[in-house]
Homo-oligomer: A and B are copies of this chain.
Amino acid sequence: MAKDAHLTIGRAIDSAMATVGRGGQLLRSTLGLSGISGDRKHSRRVTPGELPGIDHIANILEPPAPGSVAISYTDYSATRIESGDIADLDEFLEKPVPDWVQVRWLNVSNLNPYVVNLFRHHYAFHTLAAEDVLHIPQRPRIEIFDDHIFVVLRMLQLVQHEVVDPLSDSSLDTEQVSLFLYDNVLITFQEKPGDVWQPIRDRLQNEGRRIRKSGTSYLLYALLDAVVDHCFPVLEKYGDVLEELEFITLENPSPQVLHRIHSVKRELALVRRIVWPMRELVDQLYREEGDRIEDSTRPYLRDVYEHTIQIVEIIESYREMASGLTDLYMSAMSNRMNEVMKVLTIIATIFIPLTFIAGVYGMNFQNMPELAWRWAYPALWVVFTLLTAGMLFFFKRKGWIGKT
């Protein structure tokens, strides 16, 4: 019961994430990355050879429908904090930043060319960076510009379902996050509403926290840290699934198990492709010279770096484990075949000679003296019994009987 639960969690991850696809397909790219899921079609400009940058995008001058894009601001200093939603972005950006504000965090949920373009004009970031915000998926990376740092991330999030059925109690959600770090401003663009940063928002409300006393780089750290930390529960899920698969492979292997292992391997490869560049990214940020990253923040970034290494190592060991499971499965299969063959061989080698003997005395020759002997028939049964016993003894000695 419990094992079924575990196994199906994994399958639930699959199916819940598969937004585009044919029903009959058993294996599925989990993460919507540039693997082979339908999503990959958006990973590049629509037409090769098209204009770079965002200026040419069709609806760039068309403001989004009200409510389709949520923009919020959080202004804070050590002693004061203000936050809220921004209704009129143009007006908001025009207003000067109040003097008391140490750090301004602007967060945009849902991507919209018009909004990104407004930000681009106000904060003067590169047209290609703006393009990368809009074109998903991007490879996680960092770009250092003269007056700002541009970071692209991928956020993994395990969404809990409210279903009681343990088979589908959670699914994996992935979205792209782009961050622009200026001296006093941090802008974050999220692909979809919903994020993993609620604990940070809560912490910001608390006056005594270090985050309130530090600059934008510490805020950046906190956001990164939350994103990286959210990889651990995802890995735990995979750990559970692998543990289940190992159990099933040993107890009761079936082709489905192998498909499942294959699928886990592929998904882990995708997760690694997300995490690996994040490791580089954090390291680059940690080593970035200049004062945009405060020195007091560096040990924290190093801590995040250690976590990314740990994640990569866990993924690697899971991948090795999955490979080992494939070997185990294959050997279990050949073991089963062996067992089938043994049964066949035992039955056949015992009865084929007996059948031959019976056939001999079923012949109709006129001159077969044995047929007339009085004890011939009972004697034959003795022969049958002895032959069978001899065969069984032979198989026993070969180890085909009595051991599994």
Contact surface of A with B, Cβ cutoff 8 Å? 2, 22, 24-27, 34-36, 40-41, 43-45, 47-53, 126, 128, 132, 138-139, 141, 143, 196-200, 203, 209-210, 225-226, 229-230, 232-233, 236, 239-240, 242-243, 246-247, 250-252, 254-255, 258-259, 262, 265-266, 269-270, 273, 299-300, 302-303, 306-307, 309-310, 313-314, 317-318, 320-321, 324, 326-345, 347-349, 351-356, 358-368, 370-377, 380, 398-400, 403
Closest to A326 in B: B327
A48/B229 in contact, CB under 8 A: yes
B333/A334 in contact, CB under 8 A: yes
A273/B354 in contact, CB under 8 A: no
Instruction: Indicate which residue in B203, B242, B359 contacts A359 across the interface (CB closer than 8 Å).
Output: B359
What residues of chain B lie closer than 8 Å to A2, measured between beta carbons? 22
What residues of chain B lie closer than 8 Å to A49, measured between beta carbons? 196-200, 225-226, 229-230
How far apart are A307's CB and chain B's nearest CB, in angstroms?
7
What residues of chain B lie closer than 8 Å to A310, measured between beta carbons? 34, 43, 139
The docked-state distance in angstroms from the alpha carbon of A233 to that of B41 is 9
A139/B309 in contact, CB under 8 A: yes
B353/A254 in contact, CB under 8 A: no
B372/A376 in contact, CB under 8 A: no
The docked-state distance in angstroms from the alpha carbon of A363 to that of B364 is 7
Instruction: Indicate which residue in B199, B339, B364 contacts A47 across the interface (CB closer than 8 Å).
Output: B199
Given A36-B239, A265-B324, A366-B371, A403–B254 Cβ distance below 8 Å? Answer: yes
A317/B199 in contact, CB under 8 A: no
Closest to A221 in B: B52
Report copies per complex.
5
Given A36-B242, A259-B250, A324-B266, A273–B338 Cβ distance below 8 Å? Answer: no
Given A341-B340, A352-B351, A332–B247 Cβ distance below 8 Å? Answer: no
How far apart are A24's CB and chain B's nearest CB, in angstroms?
7
Closest to A126 in B: B299
Instruction: Indicate which residue in B233, B239, B255, B327 contacts A262 across the interface (CB closer than 8 Å).
Output: B327
What residues of chain B lie closer than 8 Å to A270, measured between beta carbons? 317
18 other A-B residue contacts (CB within 8 Å) besides A26-B250, A35-B239, A273-B313: A36-B239, A40-B314, A44-B229, A47-B199, A48-B196, A48-B229, A49-B199, A50-B229, A51-B209, A139-B306, A255-B332, A262-B328, A337-B341, A343-B345, A347-B348, A359-B359, A359-B362, A362-B364
B40/A236 in contact, CB under 8 A: yes
What residues of chain B lie closer than 8 Å to A27, measured between beta carbons? 246, 250
Could you give 30 example pairs across A and B, Cβ below 8 Å?
Answer: A24-B247, A24-B251, A27-B250, A35-B314, A35-B317, A36-B318, A40-B239, A43-B232, A52-B225, A128-B299, A139-B309, A139-B310, A143-B302, A250-B259, A255-B332, A255-B335, A262-B327, A266-B324, A330-B331, A344-B344, A348-B348, A348-B349, A352-B352, A354-B359, A358-B362, A363-B380, A366-B372, A367-B375, A367-B376, A368-B377
What residues of chain B lie closer than 8 Å to A339, measured between beta carbons? 398
The docked-state distance in angstroms from the alpha carbon of A364 to that of B366 is 11
A44/B355 in contact, CB under 8 A: no
Given A233-B48, A299-B128, A307-B44, A349–B347 Cβ distance below 8 Å? Answer: yes
Given A49-B230, A230-B49, A356-B354, A266–B321 Cβ distance below 8 Å? Answer: yes
The docked-state distance in angstroms from the alpha carbon of A20 to that of B342 is 38
A374/B363 in contact, CB under 8 A: no
Q: Which of A128, A302, A307, A345 has the most CB of B within 10 A?
A: A345
How far apart are A221's CB and chain B's nearest CB, in angstroms?
8
The docked-state distance in angstroms from the alpha carbon of A27 to that of B244 is 11
What residues of chain B lie closer than 8 Å to A233, measured between beta carbons? 48
How far apart are A296's CB and chain B's nearest CB, in angstroms?
10
